């Protein structure tokens, strides 16, 4: 199934986080445009997650540590691991979740 990123509507999931979501049977790929200083509060989920920073810098907090993730870097978050974050700059992020996150939609 071919998808066209530029033709997909972005959805603001939390303030400052605008995402486009693509789902397969076992994973979701999320393309985010994030405004500087936008916060993702501490949370956890059953999904394994990989965050790739395509543009900008993002600060992730996990296991009592703060990790700065810069352009062309990625980080993995295990299932059920509490984490939070903040966009240090305007960012473009790509998240991969497994299993899929059907609660995220483009509508």
Residue ranges with strand state E in the chain: 11-14, 17-23, 28-34, 39-43, 48-55, 57-62, 65-70, 74-77, 83-87, 91-98
Tell me whether residue 8 is in a domain: no
Look up the CATH number of the domain holding residue 38. Answer: 2.60.120.10
Which pTM was predicted?
0.94
Cα distances (Å, whole numbers) of residue 105 to 11, 60, 72, 100: 7, 24, 26, 11
**Short-list 62, 89, 96, 86, CA closest to 14:** 86
Tell me whether residue 32 is in a domain: yes
Tell me whether residue 6 is in a domain: no
**pLDDT > 90? residue 2:** no
pLDDT in tens, 67-78: 999 999 999 999
Domain count, the chain: 1
pLDDT in tens, 52-98: 999 999 999 999 999 999 999 999 999 999 999 999 999 999 999 99
Q: Which domain holds residue 47?
A: 19-98
Tell me whether residue 23 is in a domain: yes
Measured at the alpha carbon of residue 30, what is the angle toward residues 94 and 79, in degrees to the nearest 5?
85
């Amino acid at each position: 199934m071919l998808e066209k990123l530029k033709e997909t509507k972005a959805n603001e999931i939390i303030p400052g986080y605008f995402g486009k979501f693509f789902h397969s049977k076992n994973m979701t790929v999320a393309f985010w445009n994030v405004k500087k200083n936008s916060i993702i509060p501490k949370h956890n989920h059953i999904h394994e997650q990989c965050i790739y920073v395509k543009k900008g810098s993002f600060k992730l907090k996990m296991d009592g540590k703060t990790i700065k993730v810069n352009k062309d870097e990625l980080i993995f978050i295990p299932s059920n691991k509490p984490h939070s974050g903040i966009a240090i700059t305007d960012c473009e992020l790509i998240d991969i979740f497994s299993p899929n996150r059907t609660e995220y939609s483009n509508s």
